Structure 1
Amino acid sequence: MAETSRISLLTMSENATFLAEDDEAGRRIIIRVHRPDYHCREEIESELAWIDDLRTTARINTPAPVMTTTGSPVLSISAGGQSLYVVAFEHVVGSEPDIGDDLPQWFERLGAMNATLHEHSRRW
């Protein structure tokens, strides 16, 4: 991402999640700043390995982690005297269903995806 990229807060919950937009390159990424002292680096890397396996073996369309210049998906930074882990993901276009949508269709898709995740976690 370029130094001129715009960064905006998407949500603040367990983690702080941001959208970074580089208009020049036409690229958007999602940046997740992990809550301090909640998960260690190895736990985050394990989650990312599971996401990678879901993408390749279970064909779950989940955003791909973005590798840092060191080849790792996890970046360690210091801010305000705290050590933080940061992970970036490719942006995937999508939206949640609206109230007026055909919700049973969405629940069927959600149930099928949930079953795939359960089956994958048992094998993994």
Structure 2
Amino acid sequence: MADSPPPPSHPALALNDTVHQRVRLAILTMLSEARECRFSTLRDELGLTDGNLNRHLRILEQAGLLQVVKGYEGRRPATWLRLTREGRAALHAEITALEQLVDRLRSSGATQRDRSPDAT
């Protein structure tokens, strides 16, 4: 039986570079709130250009975190996005790591020291 590697010693080491990027984290969060979301809704809510959003979606799709579904609404082309099971798990892991970071900071008292007027 092989030994499994020890868990990361610091919660920041559990952050996923693909998910943690702020726009991609926002995309995954929005997709977790609904069964699917239109491309235009994501673009408008996040204040992105079509090209910028497309680049982030491509990265998330290649990582298997979301599914892109193209079709039509009436005669107009439309694109819908759905979070995959892997995407939901990756978002959950990211949120857990962020919560552990916050808990660590709070338990160390660092956030209180930073608020004091005499902190340097």
- Tell me the TM-score normalised to structure 2 length: 0.26
Higher percent of residues as strand: 1
Q: Which has the higher contact order (CA 8 A, sep 6+)?
A: 2
Higher percent of residues as helix: 2
